[in-house]
Structure 1
Amino acid sequence: MSIKLSICIATRNRGEFIGETLESIAAQCTSSVEIVVLDGASSDNTEQVVRALQNAVPALRYFRQEKNGGVDRDYDAVVGLALGEYCWLMSDDDLLMPGAVDAVMRAIERNYSLIVVNTEIRNLDFSQLIDGNRLSFFEDRIYPPSQLEALFEQVSGHLGYIGAVVIRRDLWGARTREQYYGSYFIHVGVIFQWPLPNDTLVISQPLVSIRFGNTQWRPKEFEIRMIRWTELVSSLSSISPEVRARCYRSEPWRSIKSLMFYRAKGTYDLGDYQRWVKPRLASRWDRSKAYAVACFPGPLANLIGLIYCSFKYHDSTIHYLDMKASRFFIRNWFRQA
């Protein structure tokens, strides 16, 4: 039987977590589903974990690179290794929920260009539910090609999580991808490069459990969220400037509130100011404010952040947990001392 769905994972140094991820997928595999893992030169036991599972999971194919190409290049490469009609760009530490593959396989039969899956967020060991409906959608939604901007406005933030993306492999291959290497969000660039040929389905039922607080790029979060994401969004000519402006700031590094937020999280410091913010600010006054935030006492910024996030607003719980994960959170601060 031909492969309908390839679940594609680009990984590096995830030996502690990838086994559980693969087991959650393998339990749902059929003869028309494969799992493709591309290892970006892991230095831990990732290879041993995956190869041990291959004996029990014939649908699992593993490829190891001698050199890490970066997340964008590696996801592009793993799609190139896939055989399926569709590719699910899965993360390497989260879990598929029961019935997830069946739900996507049913959707595939309707020839969508793109399928977006909803998610839930749990704590590190999945024992506590943090957000049971990340998209806050309660019914499936279909976006025709003419509604690309509506799709962007309502779903692009969710698509920052790559595991939400199921895309036709031929569509991925037909679009320009190299320009998004280094953006950390190649999938978003591919999707919104220009209108999709067929409809997009957003599945409202959460199909992936995200392991909160386990991202590998937290030390680079300021660069990724404030600079790379902003540059990517500004490059999307298929989305009007008005829609982009409604969704995201064009120069978020000018916001003292945003800078203080990242300072409280422990991901904005003098190094980030010198490399990313100072060259983008012409005004001496603006530079002095950004510099002052970078020098602001981290533990005090974190305490202010914890107090602010204790008030209820959208994502306040997630932001509060982010503050507790900061190197400036008092418990972490004393542990480092």
Structure 2
Amino acid sequence: MKVSFCIPTYNRVKFIEDLLESINNQSSHSLIVEVCISDNASTDGTEESINIWRDRFNFPILYQRHNENIGPDRNYLSAVNMGTGDYCWIFGSDDILTKNSLALMEDKLAAGSDIYLCDRRELDISMTKISNPHRRWLNGGSRLFSFSNEADLIEYFSKCNSVGGLFSYLSSIIVKRNKWSDVIFDESYIGTAYAHVYILLRIINNMNSTLQYISLPLVDCRGDNDTFESNGKARRIKIDFIGYLKLREDFYNNNTKIYISFGRVLTKERPWFYTSLAMACYGDSTDRAELASFYKKLG
């Protein structure tokens, strides 16, 4: 079984080495591993570090550097398209694998599910302080979800604690490469920050698909380093609403029950009271008006 770690990056050379080290240090597995790095025209020496890493680590590193920054969505897709494995583990370039993650995943991958979703542990930017030892994307323990009708989708969405259950967090996602490749991408999702979610929802909406939820933190998430907060916290909040409201409209507008169930996940992620307080602190009058319109759409 071959696993491709598909890593989109931009100016994170100081973190990528930690990720590669965490992959290299995995033991007690027989998976074939490759690393695919899609570089969004970094200016921090990422390209110059590739050959150093190739000499240091015992897995192949495929590297592609774009001549210009093509935006996060296209870079996510580019990273996965580089993969040649049976499965692609999409991975944020500042996160790392926890100990023995690959040994556990080897056992799970033998079942051949279309998508695997694992939990994460949350730390500070230096990866020394744990802020949350186990962030669970779904209620309940590990289980297999089989999607064959609308009731299966509604049940899955009802289990989601946040949009992490709807694939917002890259490093939790392991996907069968041929299933990903079969999806015809909708270009209107470029610029949403959730192009990858479109593809994954297409997979589970194609009935007879399977998703294995793994209620274990297989990933260490580096906190205080959200790329999408670079344009301000108000903008970061709006990204979730704009992206997931579009997904809901495009996928489920003709099915009221699924439409409502999907929307409830967004309100769990962004509850009205706390989100309104945050927007009052970080947003302006236009931001607050937009937020009100989002909640109106959610009912």
TM-score (ref. length: structure 2)? 0.81
* 1:192-211 aligned within 5 A: 192-193=201-202, 194-195=205-206, 197-211=208-222
- 1:271/1:216 CA distance change after superposition, 3 Å: farther
Residue 49 of structure 1: how far off its partner (Å): 3.0
Count residues with an aligned counterpart. 274
- 1:81/1:262 CA distance change after superposition, 3 Å: same
Residue 122 of structure 1: how far off its partner (Å): 0.9
Aligned mates of 1:95, 1:67 — CA distance in 2: 26
Aligned mates of 1:52, 1:151 — CA distance in 2: 44
Give the corresponding residue for 1:188.
197
Matched position secondary structure for 1:214: coil
Q: Is the 8 A contact 1:38 1:63 kept in 2?
A: yes
Cα deviations across residues 222-250 of structure 1 (Å, max 9, x unaligned)?
3312323332333222772221233235x
- 1:149/1:115 CA distance change after superposition, 3 Å: same
Residue 200 of structure 1: how far off its partner (Å): 1.0
AA aligned to 1:191 is: L
Give the corresponding residue for 1:216.
227
Residue 75 of structure 1: how far off its partner (Å): 1.3
Q: Is the 8 A contact 1:183 1:229 kept in 2?
A: no
1:98 and 2:99 are equivalent in the alignment = yes
AA aligned to 1:51 is: N
Give the corresponding residue for 1:154.
159
- Quick one: percent identity of the two aligned structures? 23
Aligned mates of 1:196, 1:46 — CA distance in 2: 41
Q: Which has the higher strand share?
A: 2
CA-based RMSD of the aligned residues comes to 2.8
Give the corresponding residue for 1:227.
242
1:168 and 2:173 are equivalent in the alignment = no
Q: Is the 8 A contact 2:245 2:263 kept in 1?
A: no
Bigger-Rg structure (1/2)? 1
AA aligned to 2:200 is: I
Residue 67 of structure 1: how far off its partner (Å): 1.6
- 1:188/1:56 CA distance change after superposition, 3 Å: same
Give the corresponding residue for 1:259.
276
Aligned mates of 2:35, 2:139 — CA distance in 1: 28
Give the corresponding residue for 1:120.
121
Aligned mates of 1:103, 1:256 — CA distance in 2: 39
Residue 69 of structure 1: how far off its partner (Å): 1.6
- 1:270/1:53 CA distance change after superposition, 3 Å: farther
Matched position secondary structure for 1:213: coil
Matched position secondary structure for 1:118: strand
Aligned mates of 1:49, 1:259 — CA distance in 2: 43
Q: Which runs of 5+ in 2 are unaligned?
A: none
1:49 and 2:60 are equivalent in the alignment = no
Aligned mates of 1:269, 1:51 — CA distance in 2: 46
- 1:148/1:195 CA distance change after superposition, 3 Å: farther
Q: Which runs of 5+ in 1 are unaligned?
A: 284-337
Q: Is the 8 A contact 1:148 1:196 kept in 2?
A: no
Residue 71 of structure 1: how far off its partner (Å): 1.5
AA aligned to 1:205 is: L
- 1:119/1:43 CA distance change after superposition, 3 Å: same
Instruction: Using CA pairs under 8 Å that are at least 6 residues apart, name the structure with larger relative contact order, 1 or 2.
Output: 2
TM-score (ref. length: structure 1)? 0.73
